[in-house]
Amino acid sequence: MARGQRPNIRHHPMPCVWVAIPARDEADELEGCLLALAAQRHAAIQGVVICLSNCIDDSAAVVRRVAGALPFRVDTIDVVLPPEQACAGRARRLAMDRAGVLAGPDGILLTTDADARVPRDWVAANVCAIENGADAVAGWSEIEPLGARRIPQHLHTIDAREGNYARLLDEIRSLLDADPADPWPRHDEHCGASIAVTVAAYRRAGGMPPVPLAEDRAFFDALRLVDARIRHAPEVSVVVSARLQGRAPGGMADTMRRRIGQTDPILDARLEPALDAARRARIRGKLRQMWQAGTGEVAVLQRIAARLEITSEALAQHFAIVPTQGARTNHTTARRYFGTRWAQLERQCPALQRHLVPLEDLGAETARARRIRDWLRNGASQADTPLHVAAD
């Protein structure tokens, strides 16, 4: 499904759905956010939890004024957090924890931002993805049109180039380490303005990390540690504001304001050189296959271990893989969790250290990623991957 294309929403009883919203001094935005949720089609929201964190404006009064006209319950948490805890991550966690209790163990949690506007099928599209097998759904965001026009063109250009490179890397990952729960096409964004997760997966991952910045990315990292089935749904999107005076120091607003004055010399930290990304995906894909089977050929383990500069015995032990001399046997013993084992390997193995990409190298890395992607698309033998991509 192409990015932005809406799904066919199925009509059947909805699960218990609660939405969590962190808010700090959002009196000008909360009404629009709540009215967008009230306009949902084919969806029944049981309630919304709003965490009003350290507000000194009329946010609470706005919620009280609007709540009576909404088709769902509004539950408000009004807190004053100490400076070291006063952040969106903590407020989002408080709201989601309360929403999780209200939704029950079989419920679904959604979260967005107070300055976001969700489309009319946002809830239904998220629920549809979960009913199709996802434990969590990552939506993507776009800046509202009027605000986007206030951003200098050079920032839009850089963002488009960086986004194109990110999509190439993600498609390479999908070709080398396919995820049945997250097939191509998909996106690679993780934004707090659009997250859906089952209550069960939320609790299994330990809840929303109460961190000062990038709690959304940290949450999806935590979900991957427990092998949650994550869908990066191209049909799920929200519109966010383009304000340059944000609520979180170091957040999106600060980043845009800084980039207006001076272009960042380094790409987003989630991006790495194309060859590194391809090698990482190839190794992870092979190890995932062997971990799922419980066995792996000695020769394959030795080749991967050599690339990682560790012993094949240590590698097999780390992933609970039984080495074999021949073809893989049918082995279905559950091993929890591959995501945790892989994250440990990345931390411990110098060969898997991530390298940043300078902006000046973006053109060359994009061309290299496109060659690798095209080569893999053509279905050539991965053992002969060009530019020494292969792990075995």
Q: Are residues 212 and 287 in the same domain?
A: no
Q: Name the band, by pLDDT with cuts 50, 70 and 90, for residue 155.
A: confident
Looking at residue 136, what is its pLDDT?
A: 98
Compute the distance between CA of residue 74 and CA of residue 38 in angstroms, rounded to an integer: 11
What is the CB neighbour count within 10 angstroms for residue 38? 14
Q: Stretch 368-387: mean pLDDT, rounded?
A: 78
Enter the pTM of the model.
0.89
Quick one: residue 101, left, alpha or beta (phi over 0 = left, psi -120 to 50 = alpha)? alpha
CB-based contact 309:350 (threshold 8 Å): yes
Residues 289 and 339 in one domain: yes
Q: What is the mean pLDDT of residues 281-305?
A: 97
Alpha-carbon gap, residue 340 to 221, rounded angstroms: 10
The DSSP code sequence of 117-183 is B--TTHHHHHHHHHHTT-SEEEEEEEE-HHHHHTS-HHHHHHHHHHHHHHHHHHHHHHHHS--TTSP
On whether both 242 and 330 belong to a single domain, the answer is no
Spatial distance between the Cα atoms of 203 and 224, rounded to a whole number of angstroms: 13
Question: Would you state the pLDDT for residue 333?
Answer: 46
Mean residue pLDDT of the chain comes to 90
Segment 343-351 shows an average pLDDT of: 97
d(CA 162, CA 146): 22
List the single range of 12-16, 73-77, 286-290, 343-347 with lowest mean pLDDT: 12-16
For residue 371, give its domain range.
274-388
In the chain, DSSP finds a helix count (H) and a strand count (E) of 14, 9
Q: Which of 261, 295, 329 is the last residue of a domain?
A: 261
Does one domain contain both 225 and 300? no
* Number of domains the chain contains: 2
Collapsing DSSP to helix, strand or coil, 198 comes out as strand
Instruction: Kindly state whether residues 213 and 111 are assigned to the same domain.
Output: yes
End residue of a domain, out of 235, 261, 287: 261
What is the rounded CA–CA span in Å between residue 193 and residue 382? 38
Full DSSP string of 21-67 = EEESS-TTTHHHHHHHHHT-SS----EEEEEEES--SSHHHHHHHHH
